Amino acid sequence: MSNRLIPTLCALWIATGVSAQMERTVYQVFEVDSVQTITLDIVNFTYPELHIWAGNSVLTEANIQVWDASPEIVNDMIKAGRYEFESEKAGDLLRIFTKQRKREDVRRQGTPSKFVEQTTIKVFVPDIYEFDPAEWTPEQTDKPKTLRRKPAPKSDE
């Protein structure tokens, strides 16, 4: 009985170790000041979500999940800017965009197999901006999205 139990336990231990998942979340903040239009040009992230908040900046929250990778590999991918955003401001326009437009597969050293990677993005936008919900459908995942500052409320004078 014990002759079969030890190999079975070893096989289960190896199987659970193979499917280990590393998860990290990376945040970035972008000041909007008096910007009238924000363009979000976010590519290579699945499940983009837009959240409205009472803040005065745009916050990106990138959640990274990588299977079968060590913490060091995931940290190196983050340090290399794989999940970073950059911004360009021109007048009253702010463009926030993915730093690495094309991400190459990360392969295990010495093997042809690659790491399984899933990246999701949440974008928190100040409540002073309007957006088109149709731009946030799954079909529009890698297409730019435009946010416009809401008109100032008219005073009754």
Q: What is the pLDDT of residues 59-111, one digit of tens each?
A: 999 999 998 888 888 898 899 999 999 999 999 999 999 998 887 777 767 66
Report the distance separating Cα 145 and Cα 71, nearest Å. Answer: 33
Token digits for 84? 């970073």
pLDDT level of residue 46 (50, 70, 90 thresholds): confident
Q: What is the pLDDT of residues 125-142, one digit of tens each?
A: 999 999 999 998 888 888
pLDDT level of residue 14 (50, 70, 90 thresholds): very low
pLDDT value at residue 15: 46
- Determine contact, residues 144/95, Cβ cutoff 8 Å: no
pLDDT level of residue 21 (50, 70, 90 thresholds): confident
Looking up tokens 């991400």 gives 103
Token digits for 80? 């290399």
